[in-house]
Amino acid sequence: VMPIYDYKCRECGNIWEVEHSISVDDAVEELGLKCPECGSQDIFKYLGKRKSLTVKFIGTGWYINDSALEAAGMPEATRNSPETKKRLFRD
Ligand SMILES: [Zn+2]
């Protein structure tokens, strides 16, 4: 499983997630990464928290606050997918 990083675009301010190996030092150079919104390569690894996701532990599984994911721009179908929830909390 590869870690997921947040990247931010200096051109348009877009923040998005990129899954790549921890050994990748410069994703722009090594992977040709660019902003999915505007195509700019003036991007950097964004380490700040964009929004705090409310997470509660219920029974045997993780529950993630849907409104937090919605605010982060994730479509409902994706939010409700078990795959998404599994991916978010693995590792
Ligand atoms: Zn952009």
| Residue 61 Cα to ligand 1 middle (Å) | 35
- Shortest CA distance to 60 belongs to which of 88, 80, 84, 86? 86
Question: In the prediction, which pLDDT does 23 show?
Answer: 92
- Gap from CA of 13 to ligand 1 centroid (Å): 6
pTM more than 0.85: no
CA of 85 to the centre of ligand 1 (A): 27
CA of 45 to the centre of ligand 1 (A): 13
Task: Please say whether the beta carbons of 53 and 74 come within 8 A.
Answer: no
* 63 CA to centre of ligand 1 in angstroms: 31
pLDDT in single tens digits along all 91 residues of the chain: 888 999 999 999 999 999 999 899 899 999 999 999 999 999 999 986 555 555 555 555 455 566 666 667 777 777 777 776 666 655 4
